[in-house]
Amino acid sequence: MQPLFNLFVLLLYFLIANPVYSDSAAGKNLPYANANEIGAVATVNPLATQAGMEAFESGGNAIDAAVTAALTLGVVDSHNSGIGGGAFVLVHWADGSVEAIDGREMAPGAASRDMFVRNGKADPELSQTGALAVGIPGSLAAYQHLIQKGGKRSLSDALQPGASLSIKGFPIDSVFANRIGRVADKIRQFPATSSLLLDDEGEPLGRGDILVQPDLALTYLKIAKQGVEYFYRGDFAALTAKWMHENGGIITADDFRNYQIKSRRPVDTYYNGYRIIGFPPPSSGGVHVAQILNMLGYLPVKSLATGERYHLLAEIMKRAFADRAYWLGDPDYSRVPRGIIDPDYAKKLVATIDPVRVTTVKQHGMPPNHDVDLFEKHTTHVAAADKQGNWVAITTTLNTSFGSKVVVPGTGVLLNNQMDDFSIQPGVANAFGLIGQEANSIAPGKRPLSSMSPTIVLKDAQPVLTLGAAGGPTIITQVVQALVNTLDLGMPLDEAVAASRIHHQWSPDLLFVETSIHQDILDALSGKGHVLKNREHLGSTQAIGIDENGNFVSISEPRIQKLNTAREN
């Protein structure tokens, strides 16, 4: 009876949904970022942005819009995110309070420190692909908490656009198609994923192909009807545990049952007259955005030439990432010192920088009171805001493209590979080239370190900017550069996001530079001793601000839009 019921539900929704693909249904004539007199939304996909704006039109607020957009991204941007992954949510509530909601994945109860070590050597393939790579997803629990606390609509309402798009299907864009092509060999290892993302000949779906996801639609509809209990304590958890048992995994139904979000104390710092609110550990983003800004606060940023600014930024980034590698981890398991964001510590680090030459950073620094003053125990970003004062920053991820590449049969849900964000062996780099030490080692129930950096900026106690980014470790440096461009250099928000970027993460000892940077500046950086590595673009930022008339300004990453446009022409 159940398969017949499922078929009936799908047919019913299919009849309700419009199966004709106009340009607007394909997202071609829809904005990636949008704003009106009610509120604003910015995402990396126009269909998700439209769903968020429609939540406003249906009586919702920024909370409803953000959750709706995030759940829709899990359908149309599933190489980056979905309910099989995790999320950090930073929210400025209308009453002026601020909350950091930790929906990061948790290690399974049977996880162990050396679970990816074979014959004395770490095997990154095990932490990046397949059953062992998966952490317990937390996004859905975070969205439920957010919408129950401050939304005007229900979680069921927020799931409907994603369910509808799963049934109708949508044309795959160039970026999505490119991601499938990159990892097709790994996708072929998993039948349910192959049937979703490959054609009948086993080849990757291409740009313009219609992706229909009936199993994911049913999962969304069952959550809409039964609540998150279906996911964490019901059939989804049971199906996942069964698949794991049959395929060498260690996740159990109890792991899902034991998952819980954490409410954490946000990271606060002050820069150039603004209050910068970031996400605390197990995010490294808020800590190191604050640390980098603290160091920049001792420099005459406004008066620096572009080449000088890039040089000093690179040297500052390098010192922050050296600290990240040693000190950062889940504060419920590791001793993460608050002294990293101490302004006096920043001053000491700045004193080690040579303004005209590259300096070698051999190891991490020693923050003050590092043993006693501690923090409390591919990715996408959603920004949303409303006139009532609700401002939301959600950064959510499966980790690398399509996560672990695992779709549990019958669910349509792609599962993350977030276990790779742990230090699987001290000094061994993860998929993004980042290394870590004991603070980020694996333990049962522990949450892996993240670079996700949802950020909210206040001026005179009022929110004026919300932003975040995607792109692994470049998330931190993208957010910093957007803040410098707006708060120091006075750029309009669209120019601040579009401006050329650099990135240094200490290891490898390379300065990544976008190809748009003028050759004279690149020559100057090389002359100071930087080893340059060209990249077409570094990451993807979404942001919402306020213009001089008090109107919302909503910005989505122009690099992604240009990339899609270029590949379609």
Domains and CATH numbers, the chain: 39-263+379-440 (no CATH), 267-378+452-568 (3.60.20.40)
Amino acid at 320: A
* H or E, element range at 255: helix 253-257
Q: Which residue's structure tokens are 């410098």?
A: 484
> Which residues does the chain have with pLDDT short of 50?
1, 4, 7, 11, 14-25, 372, 374-377, 569
Exactly one of 68, 72, 252, 379 is catalytic; name it: 379
pLDDT of residue 563: 75
pLDDT of residue 330: 87
Residue whose tokens read 């991820």: 397
Query: What's the rounded Cα separation, in Å, for the pair 554 and 476?
Result: 20
Active site (annotated) includes residue 477: no
Spatial contact of 368 and 342, defined as CB atoms under 8 Å apart: yes
DSSP 158: H
- Per-residue confidence (pLDDT) for residue 379, from 0 to 100: 80
- Kindly report the pTM of this predicted structure: 0.92
Angle, CA 378 vertex, CA 376 and CA 383 arms, to 5°: 70
CA distances 173 to 155, 211, 552, 565, Å, are: 27, 10, 28, 9
**3-state DSSP of 190-245:** CHHHHHHHECCCCCECCCCCEECCHHHHHHHHHHHHHCCHHHHCCHHHHHHHHHHH
**Residue 375 has what pLDDT?**
45
Residue type for 458, please? L
The pLDDT of residue 29 is 79
